[in-house]
Amino acid sequence: MTQLSQFIINGLVVGGIYALVAVGLSLVYGGLRIPNFAHGVWVMVAAYLTVTVIGQWQINLWLAILIILGIMGVVGAVQELAWFRIIRGKSTLVLILAAFALSLVVENIYVLRFGGKFSRSFDFPIKGGFTVGGVVISYQRLTVVLVTVASIAVLSVFMSRTRMGRAIRAVAENADAAAVTGISVSRVYLWVFGVSTAMAGIAGLLLAGMYPVQPFLGANEILKAFCIIIVAGKNNVSGLVAVAFGLGVAESVAMGYLPWTSVGEAIAFAGLAVALYIRPQGLVADPGAPA
């Protein structure tokens, strides 16, 4: 029982990261209909940044979060300007290929810079932990979950309370109608990419404290995020978070009790296959948009 609780706690931590990546991705994919496969690459970039900022410069964790949020936000906006603006509104195939190309470029730059196998990690500044009924909960893991929940909460407030948040939702609903009411669609695109990439940045920062950092860190995350979005529906934040945590726990428990380490991956994909077989349009259908 203790063991099971431990697996569940570990799963919640992993699930939190999945939720961050999936929510960030759903901003761009759900809002702008751009299947941004390059999203995972920014998780990796942020993880490397974290190793530099916290590991080498010894900057305070909370300040580092702000720094990385800022840098990744700008990177996201530049990504939109320099890479995606020119093909805005083209077919999905074109967008998928362009996003793949971007992720290939960034990933291989990091392979050249840091090597494909070589991985780096750093000491997470928050140490220690406590025990509840035999289950060890480290402060680091607790921080991960708290930061995750806080980020998603801040994002929800941003989307519902601020002018820009409402403009983003309007563009997601109907870009032409939003433009008619005087919303600058180009500015919304910049913001969506910026906010989305900043979310990837937080995920990268938290991941860097848990796993070795290597250039292919994001590949797994992006695939899981797409699985989660497909199952939960792309404009459904609470659904995304629920599915992400569920997936994290299921993976962790499966990996704990079954002999193969790969079983964890199998769970996400098998679950996705079953879900898609039952409801090909995604579990939560998105009215008005083709799958």
Partner 1 sequence: MSKIWDALTGVRAETRTIEVAPIGSPRSSAELPRLKRRHPDWPYMLLVVAVVVLLPFITDNEYYATVLILCGLWSFHAVGQTVLLGGSGELNLAYGAVFGVGAYMAANLLGFDWPFGLVLILAGLAGGLITAAFGFPLLKTRGLFYAVMTMAVGLLAAKIFIEWTAVTGGSVGLPVPMVDLSFIPLLGDVNPGRLSIAYLVWALVLLGLVFAQRLLASPFGLILRGIGGDEPLVAALGYRAGHYRLLALSLTGVYAGIAGVLFAVNIGYVTNGPFSFWTAFTVIIMVIVGGRESVWGSVIAASFLTALPEVLRSVQSYRMIVYAMVLYIVVVIRANKVAGGIEH
Block residue for tokens 């680091």: 140
Size of the site for partner 1 (CB under 8 A): 42
Q: Is 87 in the site for partner 1 (CB under 8 A)?
A: yes
Q: Is 70 in the site for partner 1 (CB under 8 A)?
A: no
Rounded least distance, CB 40 to partner 1, Å:
12
Rounded least distance, CB 224 to partner 1, Å:
9
Rounded least distance, CB 206 to partner 1, Å:
23
Q: What is the 3-state secondary structure (H, E, C) of the chain?
A: CHHHHHHHHHHHHHHHHHHHHHHHHHHHHHHHCCCCCCHHHHHHHHHHHHHHHHHHCCCCHHHHHHHHHHHHHHHHHHHHHHHHHHHCCCCHHHHHHHHHHHHHHHHHHHHHHHCCCCCECCCCCCCCEEEECCEEEEHHHHHHHHHHHHHHHHHHHHHHHCHHHHHHHHHHHCHHHHHHCCCCHHHHHHHHHHHHHHHHHHHHHHHHHHCCECCCHHHHHHHHHHHHHHHHCCCCHHHHHHHHHHHHHHHHHHHHHCCCCCHHHHHHHHHHHHHHHHCCCCCCCCCCCCC
Q: Is 262 in the site for partner 1 (CB under 8 A)?
A: yes
Segment lying near partner 1 (by CB under 8 A), choices 56-64, 95-103, 136-144, 162-170: 95-103
Q: Is 276 in the site for partner 1 (CB under 8 A)?
A: yes
Selected binder of partner 1 within 5, 8, 83, 138 (CB under 8 A): 83
Where in 25-44 is the site for partner 1 (CB under 8 A)? Answer: 35
CB proximity list for 15: less than 8 A, separation 6 or greater: 244, 245, 246, 247, 248, 249
Q: Is 149 in the site for partner 1 (CB under 8 A)?
A: no
Q: Is 111 in the site for partner 1 (CB under 8 A)?
A: yes
Segment lying near partner 1 (by CB under 8 A), choices 83-91, 122-130, 172-180, 182-190: 83-91
Selected binder of partner 1 within 93, 128, 133, 161 (CB under 8 A): 93
Q: Which is nearer to partner 1, 141 or 234 (CB)?
A: 234
Q: Is 86 in the site for partner 1 (CB under 8 A)?
A: yes
Selected binder of partner 1 within 109, 132, 157, 177 (CB under 8 A): 109
Q: Is 230 in the site for partner 1 (CB under 8 A)?
A: yes
Site for partner 1, rule CB under 8 A: 35, 83, 86-87, 90-94, 96-98, 100-102, 104-105, 107-109, 111-112, 116, 219-220, 223, 226-227, 230, 260, 262, 265-266, 268-269, 272-273, 276-277, 280, 290-291
